[in-house]
Chain A
Amino acid sequence: MERHHIVALCLLIVVAVVCTLAGREFLKMHEPDEIIPGQGVTKIENLSTYFGALAGMSSDTKVYILDSGRPGATALVLGGTHPNEPAGFMTAVVLTEHASAREGRLIVIPQVCGSGFTCTDPLEGYPQSFSVQSKSKMRTFRFGARGSNPLTEWPDPLVFLQYPSGQQLSGNEVRNLNRSYPGRPDGTVTERIAFAVMQLIERENVDIAFDLHEAAPEIPIINAIVTHEKGKDAAASALFTLESENLQYALEMSPPNFHGLSHREWGDRSPVFPYLMETSNPIQGRLRGKTNEALVVQGVDQKYYEAAQIGSMRITYNLEGEPLARRVGRHLRGVQALLGAYMESMPEKRIVVDNVPAYEQILERGIGEYLH
């Protein structure tokens, strides 16, 4: 064998090794995260139970039902609408693994946009996963993309025509679940997920629903509750409760003419009181520095601190950062406060969820304390 053959063979071997390692990493994103149902979970369904076409696809996902066995309201909590917003789905994971219903029913979907958990957004440099130490072991969760995996509905159109409104949005928004409601059975993967959620809301007679999100610290709508007009009084009441506990929230109205969003379409098309909540997540922001797992979990970023020093931030941001525990704590407390306000306005429809860690508890002990 001549020298150049040996060199070529070596190069081929190196390429094969790199491709194998990269391929393994790529395929890892298709391995589901371990979510261990707590004692409060009385039934587990798949989203495909509500729309069969999702069965066997990466867009199918688990639906956890926490039924008190006592009459009352049904609440739905969605995490993972945008899989790059980890406080949303980690809040849902904590509820699944730790909470229980005392009155009424709680339905939790931690990773509603299953397809979006199978990739990350290109050019963002996001980590593929992050880890949290639970009581028994290190738990690792995928950090996904904002939208569904482009491989499942490639290519994106130049202009996304939202169904059924006909509203025009940029092409990549076609994979954004929170622009795709009410969805349709013969639509894109993302529209089918949206359709399945609408089916669930109808079949399970959901009364109040939460879509948990995060946003970049520099945008105005953070630490916010977005409400459909029918839920605004309850939202205002919850905001008073939260403020009395030193948790500041901005109240935002859902624009009636902006279609496809959960808080708009759920509210318009079903009796449900819909709420979307946002926390502040530095890894999503444009000002961020090093983009890694630590930023997901600890939320400390020197660049955001500097931005706060020159008055460019709408939130208080210090060197403690915006840790995942605080963001999850805010969501958990927000859900509880809104459930309380809902019951004040609808006394005949009670829903009481126990074993939800308090904001201070989760700050002090961390999320892992409430995971198996």
Chain B
Amino acid sequence: MKRAQVLMIAATLLLLTAVSTLLFSQSKVKFDQPVLITSAGQSADVTIAGMLFKKANVQARAISLAKASDLEGIKTLVVVAGFSSKGLGAAGISREQELDRVKSLLAAAQEKKLKIVTFHLGGKARRGNQSDDFNKMAAEVSSYLLVVKQGNEDQFFSKLAAEKKIAIELVDKIADAVQPLAKMFEK
């Protein structure tokens, strides 16, 4: 293959990557209301997500321990991923019980063909072995990931998004998530 052809292919690939990143980062993926917010790992980041929805003027109901029956009438399921031992203690459940709950909830949402979104807001504090089972479980069945960059320093979410062809928005700070969130639900 000639050098010019190699350069051409490389340039095309680069362009395609840039365009797809731009499209994804512009939150072109649209979602409908009503929205249910739940946790995967029982961190208090659900409360933060609730506040983001308020700031973005998007109606959403938050149930940290949501079950399949709570999906009735819901169009978008937002899963706030990240493990918290205190949160599990507060919920009175074990990590295994939480993994089972999240797994069944996600399966039910997929069966109902709901759109699933994963939020990862807690940065490094919500990474590591305990959290990553929840992060992966939720992210890989999502159609959109909204991630605070500090939690993606090792490209955990970016790699997963590229592999599964999932749209991803990386924000510097939690507060920066308001704008893409509002765009997600723009009519």
Contacts and interface: CB of A to CB of B under 8 A. Distances in A.
Interface string A311-323: 1011110000000
Most buried by A among B44, B87, B150, B174: B44
Contacts of B154: 311
Given A253-B87, A316-B124, A237 B51 contact: yes
A258 interface: yes
B73 interface: no
A236 B154 CA distance: 26
A314 B45 contact: no
A221 interface: yes
Contacts of A221: 85-86
B7 interface: no
Contacts of A253: 44, 84, 86-87, 90
Nearest to B86: A252
A232 B90 CA distance: 13
B160 interface: no
Contacts of A220: 83-85, 125, 128, 130
Q: Determine which residue in B51, B83, B90, B174 has the highest number of CB atoms from chain A within 10 A of its CB, and name it.
A: B90
Interface string A231-247: 01101110110011000
A222 B43 CA distance: 14
A243 B149 CA distance: 13
Nearest to B123: A248
A174 interface: no
Contacts of A311: 154
Contacts of A240: 48, 51, 174-175
B126 A250 contact: yes
Indicate the member of B48, B87, B122, B126 with the most A CB atoms within 10 Å. Answer: B48
Contact of A252 (B44, B92, B130): B44
B92 A254 contact: no
A250 B173 contact: no
A243 B175 contact: yes
B44 A248 contact: no
A136 interface: no
A313 B150 CA distance: 13
A316 B45 CA distance: 20
Contacts of B92: 256-257
Interface residues of A, number: 32
Nearest to A251: B44
A250 B43 CA distance: 9
A313 B127 CA distance: 10
B89 A257 contact: yes
A199 to B, nearest CB: 27
A258 B84 CA distance: 14
A256 B175 CA distance: 29
B125 A243 contact: no
Contacts of A271: none
Interface string B27-65: 000000000000000011101101100000000000000
A272 B86 CA distance: 21
A244 B173 CA distance: 8
B89 A314 contact: no
Interface in B116-151: 122-128, 130, 150
B65 to A, nearest CB: 12
A255 interface: yes
A339 interface: no
B79 to A, nearest CB: 17
B86 A226 contact: yes
A235 B83 CA distance: 19
Nearest to B126: A250
A108 interface: no
Contacts of B150: 248
A223 B125 contact: yes
A339 B119 CA distance: 28
A145 interface: no
A314 B90 contact: no
Contacts of B43: 250-252
A222 B47 CA distance: 19
B128 A251 contact: no
B87 A244 contact: no
12 contacts: A220-B128, A229-B90, A236-B48, A237-B51, A248-B123, A248-B150, A250-B122, A251-B48, A252-B43, A253-B84, A253-B86, A314-B128
Given A236-B44, A250-B43, A250-B126, 13 more contacts: A220-B83, A220-B128, A220-B130, A223-B125, A235-B47, A236-B47, A236-B51, A240-B174, A250-B123, A250-B125, A251-B47, A252-B43, A253-B44
